[in-house]
Structure 1
Amino acid sequence: MTDSTSPDSLSDSPAATSPALPRRLNLLQGTALNMIDMVGIGPFVVLPLVIKTLGGPQFLWAWVLGAVVSLIDAFVWAELGAAFPQAGGSYNFLKIAYGERRWGRLLSFLYVWQTLIQAPLVMASGAIGFSQYASYLMPLEEWQRKAVSGGVVLIIIILLYRKIDSIGKIGLVMWGAVLLTLGWIIVGGLSNARIPLTQTIGSIGSISGGLVAAGLGQASVKTIYCYLGYYNVCHLGSEIQRPARNIPASMFISIVGIAGLYLLMNLSVVSVVPWQQAQNSEFIVSTFVETLYGPEAARLATILVLLVAFSSLFAVLLGYSRVPYAAAADGQFFRIFAKLHPTRQFPYVSLLFLGGLGLVFSLLFRLGDVITAILAMRIVVQFVGQAVGLLLLHRRRTAVDFPFRMPLYPLPVLLAISVWLFIFLSTGLTFMLSGLTVIALGVVAFLIQAGVRRRWPFQEKEDSLYAGK
């Protein structure tokens, strides 16, 4: 009997795939899952860091740039997601764009490879941030913080261990918590401004040519991290109803909605807490609410922030758990990851693996060590790789193959590639090297696997899956 995790057990054709995932998520639920993925602990922790990086009230421009980058990149995701609405998102996009027999195998493998590392790191970063923010409510020793972060991951795994239709309902409840928290900050600050709004807007608007030199690129790395997740719906592509319409719509609604909330939240905070003070606050939302309403209200606000962070981790693990499943169901990863729960129809092996590794990482790493590294790791293969892949697809396929077409093609694609490369350089040499190292290790792993299985580039394996392509 062959072990299910051995190289020989790797499936080679779609005939070996698991049953299709049911399409039960509508536009509202998909948008909600996108938005709670985007708004985690990030904006509440990053806001002071962005102000400090730019060293002045012009910090809002970094949030604007983050929104612009997300919107430009969303055109790439929208075309690919509408044309190929399958579980796994970028895995399928890269494989189809670069060719399923050769380079597409390598690029899609590298994406799954980095997902096995980065998805648990994303989970860990959110869980660690959760435990750090929770220390506002009560002092926590280091071991207590680790216990809190690990416990959060365990609870999320338990909540996701169920059918996708009930998950959509849970997502709507969590989305309500996100809107409630941000709404309280925005309305409370703008209606009780301690600093005249005209003065705040005037200071923010006074941009100069030296702003870029002052750190706009570095600050934007942090704000873009807070926007990531607008494409979560693409990972759930095979579970979205009317995907040609709902996948692009949910992304653009999410980005515009979250950008508006972020900009208003920042404006609201610095209208109450001077930016000179805000840049040094570890718990800016708590400080903000305490300034307006006192310590009891600040504790309630902290609880809401933690609920938002929890909701984001929920959406993150939900989306990423579909990536190894898609690769295994396609015959490019260990078959065990293609298993669906016998009665609840969700990829439980993938969910447990990523969640379990996220639990381990949450006990090992610090928040500051992973945020920028996560972004640097993803840019080359995922964001730049699939943008270039879309250009290749347009050369091989007709307009009929793309239910959604971006305006002014190929300008948005070229802009996306340029901006992502700029952001990659802005992460700094150390993080650039860490991202490239992960890619290099992935190439080695791919070559080892290909050598064992006698597949490209060592020997082309012709079978029924690729015959005639």
Structure 2
Amino acid sequence: MARTGPSDGTRRPADDGPAAGRRPEERSTAPGLRRASLGPLGVLAIAVSAISPTTSVFLVYGSALRSAGTGVVWAFVIGGVIALGMALCYAEAGSLFPSAGGAYTIVHRALGPVAGGVTSTLFLLLGLVSTASILVASATYVSSLVPGGLPVGWLALGMMALVTAVSVGRISPAGWVAGGMLVLELAVVLVFTAVAFGHAAHGVHPITHPVVVSHGAAGPVGAAGLLAAVVPALFAFNGYDWPLYFAEEAKGSRRTGPRAVVVAAVLAVVVEVLAVIAATGAVGDLGRATADPSPLAFVAHQVLGPAGADVLIAGVALAMFDTGLAANLGYARVYYAAARDGMLPGPLGRFFGRVSPRSRVPVRGFLFLLAGNGLLCVFSSLDDLITFTGVMIVIVYLLVAVSALVCRVRRRGARPPFRMPWWPLPPLVAVVGVVVALSRQDPRDLLTAFGLAAVAAAGYAAVRHRLPARARPREDDGAP
């Protein structure tokens, strides 16, 4: 039976959440997420699909290459170290607080309702931009395969509608769909990596002599450009925390989820760093590659030829669709958890705080994602979506890493279901790395993201007395 109260044994107040005002018997019979409907492999498949090594590399490589040149390799290595530290933070803290809220629940339980509210707000916004950025990129690649091209925005909108159609059914079939497409996309990125390693360009030494093109000439990579490329790299690795958002639907979630987080992060870092090393070594003409809208498509044409590049690009588009599906599945669950915990204002709480009685998934969250992402698919640019999304993700990382430190200090002597090794190195590496990376980002993106966080913090602080002190799943939601 699920625990319904905090570790001190107290129970949740009757007025917590959007269910406030209803009789206890009405609250206890409201449908929650379907218990134990995902096995360990299903959880891992969704996590790796959310990261999608193929999508990640092809989505952000161009932005990172233009910033750091061939130093993009070191940007991904640095980002990989930070990502592994973050994965251990997510795994340990997530094992303490298994909930569909994932990162939001961790921050809420560790740092309080105001910080938790900021995290839920950032996720509300992330859900509206990240899936759109992925599907716009997918549509861009599909359009490049058609003579004369296709309207990218409307194609991305059609993909978003298809993602929604798959998402609103039961979670188990959606997990199988994600897993099947994952196998194909891993084959795509591994084949590309192997072929690119076999076509290394002469005179390119990205590890020992990284260079960047500036004003038409190649020169050494500066620290500012290198660190600016770390945030896109972190965006590329993002998604390893996704097992936490299915904690209430997974079997043995206190261990299954955290282990899947670490396995997914390690797999993503290894596959993506190898792909970036291989691609950068095969670039050859850095100036032409940097100027190309899709540098990896440029490299693919060099090493695979036109026909091989078209097959690769089709695989990349499929991988990006899979990533959009996995992202959609997770964000809707965060909305549901935040509403259920009473962290969203009345109308939003009532809207998001329910699941479909038939499929037991948060259908209303998926409809909200369809509307918001659909508009961005048609009316926004890919570069703006990627940079802004990356900054918001890194702010969430900072909150989670601090939460992991606080949880371990407060629970000295306790042994969580998953205990990170090398304490306190992982959270310290994550915090320092995230702060340094943020310091090198576009001031406009920083002002926008931190401004939104500050507005959210002020709003939640103003109503702090009405917020639940703790975020937790309900008894009928199947948390362990």
* Shorter-normalised TM range: 0.7 to 0.9
- Cα distance, 1:43–1:456 mapped onto 2, change above 3 Å: closer
Give the aligned partner of residue 418 of structure 2.
404
Q: Map residues 245-260 of structure 1 onto 2, 5 A cutoff.
A: 245-260=255-270
How far off its partner does 1:80 sit? 1.0
Matched, 1:190 2:193: no
Matched, 1:93 2:103: no
Give the aligned partner of residue 323 of structure 2.
312
Conserved 8 A contact 2:91-2:418: yes
- Cα distance, 1:375–1:47 mapped onto 2, change above 3 Å: closer
Structure 2: unaligned runs, 5 residues or longer: 1-14, 212-219, 475-480
Q: Map residues 34-433 of structure 1 onto 2, 5 A cutoff.
A: 34-39=47-52, 41-55=55-69, 57-98=70-111, 104-138=112-146, 144-191=151-198, 193=199, 195=201, 200=204, 202-206=205-209, 211-213=221-223, 215-276=225-286, 277-333=288-344, 334-380=349-395, 382-400=396-414, 402-433=416-447
Matched, 1:439 2:480: no
How far off its partner does 1:195 sit? 2.9
How far off its partner does 1:304 sit? 0.7
Cα separation, 2, equivalents of 1:83 and 1:353: 30
Q: What are the superposed Cα offsets for residues 321-362 of structure 1, whole Å, 9 maximum, x if unpaired?
A: 101111122233313322121111111111211222111222
Conserved 8 A contact 1:87-1:237: yes
TM-score by length of structure 2 reads 0.83
- 39-48 or 126-135, which deviates more: 39-48
Conserved 8 A contact 1:378-1:435: no
Conserved 8 A contact 2:88-2:420: yes
- Cα distance, 1:362–1:267 mapped onto 2, change above 3 Å: same
How far off its partner does 1:235 sit? 1.6
Cα separation, 1, equivalents of 2:421 and 2:134: 35
- The one-letter code sitting in structure 1 at the alignment partner of 2:321 is F
How far off its partner does 1:58 sit? 3.3
Cα separation, 2, equivalents of 1:13 and 1:332: 16
Q: What are the superposed Cα offsets for residues 2-40 of structure 1, whole Å, 9 maximum, x if unpaired?
A: xxxxx9993349953643431232232222212221126
How far off its partner does 1:368 sit? 1.3
- 126-135 or 223-232, which deviates more: 126-135
- The one-letter code sitting in structure 1 at the alignment partner of 2:239 is G
Q: What are the superposed Cα offsets for residues 39-75 of structure 1, whole Å, 9 maximum, x if unpaired?
A: 26441143233233223x3331111111111001111
How far off its partner does 1:250 sit? 1.5
How far off its partner does 1:212 sit? 4.7
Give the aligned partner of residue 101 of structure 1.
none
Cα separation, 2, equivalents of 1:155 and 1:216: 38
Cα separation, 1, equivalents of 2:206 and 2:439: 29
Q: What are the superposed Cα offsets for residues 305-324 of structure 1, whole Å, 9 maximum, x if unpaired?
A: 10011011111011111011
How far off its partner does 1:82 sit? 1.4
Q: What are the superposed Cα offsets for residues 109-149 of structure 1, whole Å, 9 maximum, x if unpaired?
A: 2222222222111111112212222231125678x221111
Cα separation, 1, equivalents of 2:51 and 2:39: 18
Q: What are the superposed Cα offsets for residues 223-271 of structure 1, whole Å, 9 maximum, x if unpaired?
A: 1111111111112222222223322322222222222222222233344
- The one-letter code sitting in structure 1 at the alignment partner of 2:411 is R
How far off its partner does 1:456 sit? 6.3
Cα separation, 1, equivalents of 2:447 and 2:101: 26
* Partner SS, residue 205 of structure 1: coil
- The one-letter code sitting in structure 2 at the alignment partner of 1:328 is A
Q: What are the superposed Cα offsets for residues 367-400 of structure 1, whole Å, 9 maximum, x if unpaired?
A: 11121212222433x2222222233323332443
* Partner SS, residue 279 of structure 1: helix
How far off its partner does 1:155 sit? 0.6
Give the aligned partner of residue 477 of structure 2.
none
Comparing both structures, which one devotes a greater share of its residues to helix? 1
Cα separation, 1, equivalents of 2:364 and 2:397: 27
- The one-letter code sitting in structure 2 at the alignment partner of 1:195 is A
How far off its partner does 1:96 sit? 1.1
Identity %: 23
- The one-letter code sitting in structure 2 at the alignment partner of 1:400 is A
Give the aligned partner of residue 9 of structure 2.
none
- The one-letter code sitting in structure 2 at the alignment partner of 1:239 is E
Cα separation, 2, equivalents of 1:377 and 1:345: 29
Cα separation, 1, equivalents of 2:303 and 2:425: 46
Conserved 8 A contact 2:96-2:416: yes
Cα separation, 2, equivalents of 1:214 and 1:384: 20
- The one-letter code sitting in structure 1 at the alignment partner of 2:170 is K
TM-score by length of structure 1 reads 0.85
Cα separation, 2, equivalents of 1:163 and 1:413: 36
- 69-78 or 325-334, which deviates more: 325-334
Conserved 8 A contact 2:201-2:281: yes
- Cα distance, 1:344–1:45 mapped onto 2, change above 3 Å: closer
Give the aligned partner of residue 3 of structure 1.
none
Structure 1: unaligned runs, 5 residues or longer: 1-6, 99-103
Cα separation, 2, equivalents of 1:9 and 1:217: 41
Cα separation, 2, equivalents of 1:456 and 1:51: 44
